[in-house]
Homo-oligomer: A and B are copies of this chain.
């Protein structure tokens, strides 16, 4: 067993942090670490918090931690921030937000950069979750920092997705329409203490809450604390209900992961073959002379190289 694996299994926070950095950066050791802990995983539940930038995800997650602790969970937070130029360390905002929880050994917090290839976020996250799971954290909160195309990728790898909206983000109704309406297992109107919250809440209930699958819609205020306890309890309850179908969901997630990994390996193989085959360059020549168009060139090249 690698010393780092031994360390994280024994609860050494430094080993834990280092192991997450290794999988986040997709370093060579990732493979060995995951190989050694994989059989020990499967105990943790995961909750994703997502929504437009400015929805107050970080503050709300900060307030939820003590509530989840009170419900008996050992809690870890992964903040996914691909735009962060800082890798391998918690970002300042997190440190400030987490200060109440920092001296609690049963709370662990980490930022991930997860830049790079498509599916890079999913891959890093899946493995970071496994590491925290193996280290004994049984509730892992995943938070997307900022907005963007991360939402869907995160929702694919967690057990429960909470989508946050707030009256402050003018684009909330657009976000509702633009696809976030499909990924959430529950919806929260945060900053319920400010103007426009009641109206936004009705909109979300109308547009999403009243659809066939009837997801829960709640109101919270990270500032006043209102609704935060109820949110934690609802998440806890939904996770328990969901665990009836948990094995099926786990299986689906492993299917996705295996397909992603195979696609990734095949992409490397195909790129290599192209770069080392004269036919590829012959087709590029014909394209530059406009003797063939790109669609036809791609088809003929695939036929020639990958029967």
Q: What residues of chain A have their CB less than 8 Å away from a CB belonging to chain B?
A: 31, 34-35, 38-39, 41-42, 82-83, 85, 117-118, 147-149, 174, 177-178, 247, 250-251, 254-255, 257-259, 261-267, 269-271, 274, 280, 283-284, 287-288, 290, 293-299, 301-302, 306
Contact = CB atoms under 8 A, between A and B. Distances in A.
Given A34-B293, A290-B39, A290-B42, A263 B270 contact: yes
B263 A294 contact: no
A254 B284 contact: yes
B254 A287 contact: yes
7 nearest A-B residue pairs (beta carbon): A261-B298, A118-B118, A85-B178, A38-B293, A254-B287, A39-B290, A35-B293
Contacts of A83: 147-148, 178
Q: Which of A39, A83, A262 has the most CB of B within 10 A?
A: A262
B290 A271 contact: no
Contacts of A258: 280, 283-284, 287, 294, 297-298, 301
A262 B259 CA distance: 18
B261 A271 contact: no
Nearest to A41: B290
Contacts of A250: 288
A251 B121 CA distance: 32
A157 to B, nearest CB: 12
A250 B306 CA distance: 26
A298 B269 CA distance: 13
A306 to B, nearest CB: 6
B302 A266 contact: yes
Contact of A271 (B247, B263, B287): B263
A149 B255 CA distance: 27
A41 to B, nearest CB: 8
Contacts of A298: 258, 261-262, 264-265
Contact of A82 (B149, B271, B287): B149
Nearest to A127: B294
Given A85-B177, A259-B274, A288 B251 contact: yes
Given A117-B118, A118-B118, A261-B294, 17 more contacts: A35-B295, A38-B290, A38-B293, A38-B294, A39-B293, A83-B178, A85-B174, A251-B284, A251-B288, A254-B284, A259-B271, A262-B274, A262-B301, A263-B270, A265-B298, A265-B302, A269-B302
